[in-house]
């Protein structure tokens, strides 16, 4: 069985997220999604609309996702790859090169982002409506 791992905040879920999750799952048999906790978001100076628990619940309901784990810090990626026996690490291509250090542990794939949609764009659009 080929296991795939990706990371993200996955706030304000949209079709770009679904495309990424589907393409990640298509690379293997089992998809693990690491979701930024609220505490980790605070360290990154980010705030999600939905709590970690609710984002986890939403992701667990998506058919492409087999397991959701917490992302607590930047440094946990190597240990997650080892602990979960990951074969392929997947991220959006806006992170190109940033996770190449994982190539010592698994294959690293950067997928193109879905054009025309992002959580940032949704938040900006919502602000313009007020």
- What residues act catalytically? 44, 46
Beta bridge partners of 90: 6, 109
In angstroms, what CA-CA distances link 80 with 119, 126, 127?
25, 35, 36
Max CA distance (Å), the chain: 49
Conformation bin of residue 78: beta by default, left when phi > 0, alpha when psi is -120 to 50 = alpha
């Amino acid at each position: 069985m080929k296991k795939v791992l990706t990371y993200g905040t996955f706030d304000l879920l949209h079709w770009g997220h679904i495309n990424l999750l589907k393409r990640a799952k298509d690379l293997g048999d089992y998809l693990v999604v690491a979701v930024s906790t609220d505490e980790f978001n605070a360290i990154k100076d980010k705030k999600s609309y939905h709590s970690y628990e609710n984002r986890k619940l939403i992701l667990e309901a998506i058919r492409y996702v087999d397991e959701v784990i917490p992302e607590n810090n930047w440094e946990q990626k190597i240990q997650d790859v080892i602990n979960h026996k990951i074969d392929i690490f997947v991220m959006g291509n806006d992170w190109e090169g940033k996770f190449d250090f994982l190539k010592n542990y698994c294959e690293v794939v950067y997928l193109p982002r879905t054009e025309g949609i992002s959580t940032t764009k949704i938040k900006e659009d919502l602000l313009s409506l007020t």
